[in-house]
A and B are shown apart, each in its own frame.
Chain A
Amino acid sequence: MENNENKIITIDISSNSVKIGLVSEQLKLEITDSQNINVINEDLDGFAKRFDMDDLWNKVNNGINRILKNYKSVVNIIGISSCTQRIATVFLDNSGDVIYGGPNIDIRGIDSAYMIDDEFSERDLFEITGHSPPLLFCLARLLWFKEEEEETYEKINKVLMLDDWLVYRLTGNYVSDLSSAAESQILDIKKREWSSEIIQTFDFDPDFFPEIVESGTIVGELKPELAKSFNLSQNNIPVIKTGGDTQATLLGMGIIEDGDIGISLGTTAPVHLVVNKPIFDPNNNYWTSCHSIKGKWLVEGHAGNTGAAYNWFKECFLSSLTNNSDYSIEQYLKNSTPGAFSTFAFLGPEKMNIKNQTSIKRGVFVFQPPTMISEELPKIEDFARSVLENIAFGIFENYQAIKGFTDLSTRTYCAGGMAKSEGFCKILASVLNTEISVPYTKDSAFIGVAMNTLKGLNYYSDYRSMIKNLLTYEKNFSNPTNSDNYKNIYLEWKNLKNKIDDL
């Protein structure tokens, strides 16, 4: 353990948890803390959901206090930065109090999206914002309050993305960044500014929307009372803007160059391609966002609930068998072969298809059942492998689609919770038939947040030199034999999927 070393406090509010990390100047993740997030259902229907914002803030505070207390050495905090789940939105009144804070799964906008449809064609809105469908984002939520809760709408003074709110709580300043604002469906993705066309069309107060800065900008200092509550003796601790958790994860993987492809293996698995100009999918399906790097955009495919499917399988099928399901799965993968003895899983991961979000498909395992003539039957090892192969096939379908947006030769990276599984990374490399670089620190969001801090503090003049000097990778190579096998196994999986989708 390094003594008296400069450290960065990093905060990551992901889809499921509030995570706090202490990262060194050398981008070494020293200690972490994680707490689950509470999401409240507002109605029986399940469309409207919101955060308990006091609980969220308490968890940030408690997490910071715990890592500082549990880290045994005296630390000098050189900066604080954060990233949060995308799409999540917070509305504040003129006292700065929260009127509404909603997670990325709040779809109350389903009631108000017709107003967007009436004003903008699907294509026109997509070419401004790079996102669809209209029911999901901040735009539809604002319109929902305007339509359904007029009194609440009248009280709105600021419209923030979740990371903007966190920065506000840390500094008292209202500010957004491109990686956050890009997920609001109110940002003009090409101009990289709030869309005056959208704001005027819906008669929003332009003052709702805070100033936008580039990620890696110092946006204030930690409030003295917070520094005191964290038992920090320092004053004037700078707070640096990061933004969207996925963009932070990509940065932490070192993904900044045109043609880089990053697979963020979290609860879901977005697959991003870095491009140097905004490219819009002619079918309005794959999203276009802003990277946290100046002058870079992202095209995104989304494989759906990958980590969620993996965790569900572990909880449902392995928790009564083992205390260490991750270790068990590694063993299962060693004891099974590609194709999982003709066992196929269909648990959700698939090609992104925004227009087909009207049906929720049934989860299915297809396998060889016991019969009078069975000589061998699938084992738990095969079911575990089939789940991971399903996830890999879902990523593969998006990876193929995203690659189609560039003529450049691509380099592929992945990070996140599932990247900690060596067995899964090998499967993924063979299914994608490519070499995959996995950063040494798999919790890349912390690293991306810390990189923005170092950039903001001018420790480095650019991200490229930081990546070159500080990031190290493990390489996962595709196994040619397995890659050949997986071509056929995927086709068999896809053929079955086409039938199962009709269930």
Chain B
Amino acid sequence: MSKFDSIESCLKEIENRYTNTEKVRKKLANYDEPIQIRFLDTNRSVLLLVNKDQGIEVKDNVSDENAPVKIDFVTENTMLELFNKELGAVKAYSSGKIKVMEGKIKNLMKLKSLMF
């Protein structure tokens, strides 16, 4: 049985990684820009608000069109496959299952530890 069976469980894992991993917080110590995740099959949006190493807020069904980092997942299942380690991030990215719509490469490098 897959460990992650819903988007909610994946979002919870993002919070856990941030809260429970010092290394992840260290990587994000200078990061405080909103990240918008969008699932194209359900039109669901999630907003991640990282406040440097002081905390993270994950807002489900919330979007921010002005977010400087925007990542599209073609389907919600893509995120489940990634979190369940059934799909590699590079493969998902190069096959177009994930697309970075906006975002500087340096910010995306920092986000890898939260999401992949």
Contact = CB atoms under 8 A, between A and B. Distances in A.
B88 A358 contact: no
B104 A360 contact: no
A114 to B, nearest CB: 5
Given A133-B106, A355-B105, A358-B108, A46 B89 contact: yes
B30 interface: yes
A45 interface: yes
Nearest to B30: A118
B12 interface: no
Contacts of A111: 27, 109, 112-113
Range for the number of chain B residues in contact with chain A: 20 to 34
B103 interface: yes
Given A110-B112, A114-B27, A359-B100, A46 B91 contact: yes
Interface in A116-132: 117-118, 122
Range for the number of chain A residues in contact with chain B: 20 to 34
Q: Mostly helix, strand, loop or mixed at chain A's interface?
A: loop
Interface in B89-116: 89-91, 93-94, 96, 99-101, 103-106, 108-110, 112-113, 116
Contacts of A359: 99-101
B59 interface: no
Contacts, number: 54
A359 to B, nearest CB: 5
B100 A47 contact: no
Given A44-B88, A118-B30, A358 B100 contact: yes
A111 B106 CA distance: 11
A47 B108 contact: no
A409 interface: no
Given A45-B89, A47-B89, A47-B112, 7 more contacts: A46-B88, A110-B112, A118-B30, A134-B106, A355-B105, A357-B105, A358-B104
13 contacts: A45-B90, A46-B91, A110-B112, A111-B27, A114-B106, A114-B109, A117-B106, A358-B103, A359-B99, A359-B100, A360-B93, A360-B94, A362-B96
